Amino acid sequence: MIMEYLDFKNLICEQMNRFVGIVLSDEQCHNFFIYMNLLIEKNKVMNLTTITEPKEIILRHFVDSSIPIKFYNDKIRGDKYICDIGTGAGFPGLPLAILCPESKFVLNDTLGKRINFLSEVVEAINIKNVKLIKARAEDFGHDKCFREKFDYVLSRGVSRISVLSEYSLPLVNINGIMLAYKMNNCDDELNDGKNAIETLGGMFHVKHKYSIVDDEPERCLIEIFKNKCTPNMYPRKAGTPANSPL
């Protein structure tokens, strides 16, 4: 066993309460434990994460992914439709889905291997509020089943705001919110992304600052509010947003 369950439970409960302000149920602790062990085991044969120590996974993946609850609490936990773009190994969408059973989540990634891994996790923890979609973000944003349907669209470590906005805002419904996990020194990135945000129907609303590691710089959660429809031409064809940001 990589880490004894009781040690894991005590640590994740302590960290979630300290940084996010929530109390985990026994079922949630158990689900996170299964998730962690599957992540570490699968990472031996495919590149899912560079963070492989249990304590670091708890803090830098599980706790960090859960930070929106600190700022939005019941607004994000109560019967919302939430999308995670470029989810990778499931961050931030899957930890939030474990913590927000009333909400429905769609986790998107371009790589089938990652989606297959997440399917294993979802089956192992028997979670019912997660749908997995393999697609390029540019194509996903034009899917009529998902375009402008989500209350929240999240992304963590995907792209600069100027590019990420074109992936995310077409999926956000009117009065919905795009959330981007960033380091605190992202003011230049926000300025560079101003045209993209406005072109795609959004407006910068607030930057939530937080810390999860004492000796490291602050992090932030960027909130972009969707106040008008995204023009039909966006997102542009695959590769264009990254190569030619708005």
Phi, psi of 226 (to 5 degrees): -95, 115
Measured in whole angstroms, the distance separating CA 60 from the mean position of its chain's CA atoms is: 13
- How does pLDDT run across 56-93, given as a tens digit for each residue? 999 999 999 999 999 998 888 888 999 999 999 999 99
- Fold for domain 73-243? Rossmann fold (3.40.50)
121-150: pLDDT as tens digits: 999 999 999 999 999 999 999 999 999 999
Q: Cβ(130)–Cβ(94) under 8 Å?
A: yes
Q: Which residues 6+ apart lie within 8 Å of 117 measured at CB?
A: 38, 42, 46, 48, 89
pLDDT at 1 over 60: no
CA 156 – CA 119 distance, rounded (Å) = 20
Q: How confident is the model at residue 237 (pLDDT cuts 50, 70, 90)?
A: very high
Report the b/e string of 174-183 with b at 16+ CB within 10 A.
eebbbbbbbe
Q: Is the pLDDT of residue 210 over 80?
A: yes
CB 39, CB 49: distance < 8 Å: yes
